Amino acid sequence: MTFLPPGHLAVIMDGNGRWAKARGLDRFHGHIQGVESIRRTVELCIEHGIKYLTLYAFSTENWGRPDEEVNGLMELLCKCTVNEVPELKKQGVRVRFIGDLDILDDKVRESIENSHRETRDNDKLHLMLAVNYGSRAELTSSLKEIANMVIDGDLAIDDITSDLISEKLYTSGIPDPDLIIRTSGECRLSNFLLWQAAYSEFYFTDVLWPDFGREEFERAIENYKKRTRRFGLVHNK
């Protein structure tokens, strides 16, 4: 048993649309309510001494949703990034966005860059927000970079190691997630941290993301603490 809380918690925040639909509301209300759950989760991580929190906010596939929803999500992202930074700064949170950020609107990118700058000296909690994130795109771009290093004569084929690949991912320098929670009853990764999740523990809950709070968070952490992580080795106990 680990007995300890996860050092790095990652969450696939799912179920906003279904939460809204169940109340006869537009899907967008689910996303707004989801922001409350993000605030709660950040506080709970600080309280439980968790050092890294990665939240899956928008996938490379989510661009395929109706324009209205995509635009609403981008606006919400921009607004929250601007509004939440002062409080996050006060809480000692360092904010980082992971994903292909180059294709985002200037306004969204500026708010992201500002959040990086404003919180870069904090280290109580490292908060990574995965936006326009897709694990396959991440791996593809890192493999291209490595191939170019080989072509340029800066790297020998034998020096391509799994550590080097990890270093070239958006999550470079961030430990692999110990626990991945997915809300809303779906039991899949949906292109999230495929490489990094090699030895992660998983916790799936039917709770929809806007309803996710202390009770379910603590249930997940307690459940994690009872797990025996073997990493392919033999445990005698």
- Is-catalytic flag, 62? yes
- Among the candidate windows 50-58, 117-125, 150-158, 220-228, which touches ligand IPE by CB under 6 A? 50-58
Site string for Mg ion, 126-155 (x = CB under 5 A): ------------------------------
Reading the block at residue 62, the tokens are 């989510």
Which among ligand IPE, Mg ion, none contacts residue 179 (Cβ within 5 to 8 A by kind)? none
Q: Which does 12 bind (CB under 5 to 8 A by kind): ligand IPE, Mg ion, none?
A: ligand IPE
Q: Where are the alpha helices (H) located in the chain, listed in sequence order?
A: 16-22, 27-47, 67-91, 106-119, 135-151, 162-167, 214-225
**14 forms part of the interface with Mg ion (CB under 5 A):** yes
Among Mg ion, ligand IPE, none, the one that 57 touches (CB under a kind-dependent 5 to 8 A) is: ligand IPE
Q: Which of 26, 62, 100, 223 is catalytic?
A: 62
Total interface residues for ligand IPE by CB under 6 A: 17
Q: Strand 52-59's sheet: what is its strand order?
A: 93-98, 125-133, 52-59, 8-12, 179-182, 201-204
14 has catalytic annotation: yes
Find out whether 170 and 192 touch, Cβ atoms under 8 Å.
Answer: no
Query: Applying CB under 6 A, which of residues 52, 56, 170, 224 lies at the interface with ligand IPE?
Result: 56
Alpha carbons 17 and 24: distance in angstroms, whole number: 11
User: If binding is defined by CB under 6 A, does position 57 make contact with ligand IPE?
Assistant: yes
Taking CB atoms within 8 Å and a gap of at least 24, the contacts of 41-49 are 41/11, 41/212, 41/217, 42/88, 42/91, 42/93, 42/125, 42/127, 43/91, 44/214, 44/217, 44/218, 45/9, 45/125, 46/91, 46/92, 46/93, 46/124, 46/125, 48/5, 48/221, 49/5
Site for ligand IPE in 93-132 (CB under 6 A): none
Contact flag: residue 11 with Mg ion (CB under 5 A): no
Closer to ligand IPE at the Cβ: 119 or 184? 184
Residue numbers 186-225 binding ligand IPE by CB under 6 A: 186, 188, 190
Contact, 174 vs 52, CB < 8 A? yes
**Which of Mg ion, ligand IPE, none interacts with 141 (beta carbon under 5 to 8 A by kind)?**
none
Residues that bind Mg ion (CB under 5 A): 14
Catalytic (active-site) positions: 14, 62
